[in-house]
Structure 1
Amino acid sequence: MARTQGSHSDITGPRIRRAALSLFARHGFAAVSMRQIAGEVGVQAGALYNYTPDKQTLLYQLMREHMEDLLSARETRAAVAGADPLARLEDFTRHHIRFHIERPDEVFIAYMELRNLTPENFAEIESLRRAYETELETILRDGVDAGVFTVPDPRIATYAVIAMLTGVNTWYRAGGRLSLDEVEAIYWDMVRKLVMV
């Protein structure tokens, strides 16, 4: 029997995850079959099971990888941002926008496909999301304690700011009227005004 294109030993998990990411983002998790993922990679559908037990695991791995990358990047930046709540909030704002703009498929899946995770996988991803939210909530609480911010409920403010910043992905396009630097500056000004005394 002739070998299928790509069915040699260099087919790896990362190629399968990239194909799944693209297909899930374009068509939605529920509409994509393992056969379609295999076709995108260029292997027989059965070969996928050498790399992943099922489609649910692929979805979970994609979300987990995205959240772990985000948390790792924030940890690195937080160490540089210093102690000043205003500087930390600006860094969080600008970094959130830029990190997410560079990963539109990951962001779409991370927000739109949560409902398709099993309860166990959902709990793990939700825990990672909560860790990220906690960083912003801590910044806001520190700013309130320092008398720099006036935020009646830091947790609600955290949800509002993250939703606002993530929303940039729905409309921003490179080469449009505003550069990404300009968008960051405008959003930072809005966030600053939202929380300042």
Structure 2
Amino acid sequence: MLPPILQAALENFVHGGFHGTSIRQLAHAAGLSVPGLYHHYQSKQAILAEIDRLAMVDLWSRSIEALFDGPQEPLARFERLIECLLLFHAQQSDIAFIAFSEIRSLQGESREAHIAARDRQQQLLDDVVAECVSDGSFATEFPRDASRAITTICTGVSQWYRPGGELDPAGVAERYGRICRHAAGQLASDHPR
């Protein structure tokens, strides 16, 4: 849960985009004057950077917990991590969408920090896919490419998921989890869900 100022900013960024949202709109949405908003954050860029930072910290924390909370066989770790990624991008779709789509608006150290956090996050999946290939759970010839494709599937959920649609978050995790396993070349004898 974001602090109220950041939540108000997030909602504005989702509806109007970072560049389409003025500092006055952000202040109004937060119930503050423009100087009042500047008391909390130096700039609109600082607000975006903090939203992004919090999104990436939350995703990392959830991912680490998912990887280590259960059996440590590679396929079990993969399934928990994919479920975590899909649930995050469905349940936290607004913040996930902004963290994904507004990287183009981040500048300087904030952009570098996001890229480092994104690469660190990707490495978790790259490693577990490689482990699944090594132990024979997955048959893909291209583990890194499969891992990137799976990331695209997971992050893409935040672009289209809306509550009240055909699938709830658990349904997204189940259906798209199967798609991710197929993208990695899961052998037919393994975990047919």
Which of residues 177, 180, 184 in structure 2 aligns to 1:191? Answer: 180
Which of residues 95, 101, 104 in structure 2 aligns to 1:106? Answer: 95
Residue 44 (structure 2) aligns with: 55
Cα distance in 1 for partners of 2:108, 2:139 equals: 37
How many residues align? The count is 185
Work out which of the two has the higher radius of gyration on C-alpha atoms and give 1 or 2.
Answer: 1
State the 1:87 CA deviation: 0.9
Residue 165 (structure 1) aligns with: 154
State the 1:164 CA deviation: 0.9
Residue 111 (structure 2) aligns with: 122
Cα distance in 1 for partners of 2:114, 2:73 equals: 30
Which of residues 24, 46, 54 in structure 2 aligns to 1:35? Answer: 24
> Secondary structure of 2:41's match?
coil
Deviations 1:167-186 (CA, angstroms, capped at 9, x unpaired): 22333333333343333222
State the 1:101 CA deviation: 1.0
Residue 86 (structure 1) aligns with: 75
Runs of 5+ consecutive residues of structure 2 not aligned to the other structure:
188-193
Q: Is the 8 Å Cα contact of residues 140 and 151 (structure 1) preserved in structure 2?
A: no
Cα distance in 1 for partners of 2:16, 2:65 equals: 34
Stretch deviating more after TM superposition (103-112 or 52-61): 103-112
- Structure 1 runs of 4+ with >6 Å offset: none
Cα distance in 2 for partners of 1:178, 1:29 equals: 29
Cα distance in 1 for partners of 2:169, 2:48 equals: 29
Residue 167 (structure 2) aligns with: 178
Deviations 1:90-128 (CA, angstroms, capped at 9, x unpaired): 111211111111112111211111111113211100111
Runs of 5+ consecutive residues of structure 1 not aligned to the other structure:
1-12
State the 1:160 CA deviation: 0.4
Cα distance in 2 for partners of 1:19, 1:71 equals: 23
State the 1:74 CA deviation: 1.2
Residue 15 (structure 1) aligns with: 4
TM-score of the superposed pair, with normalisation by structure 1: 0.86
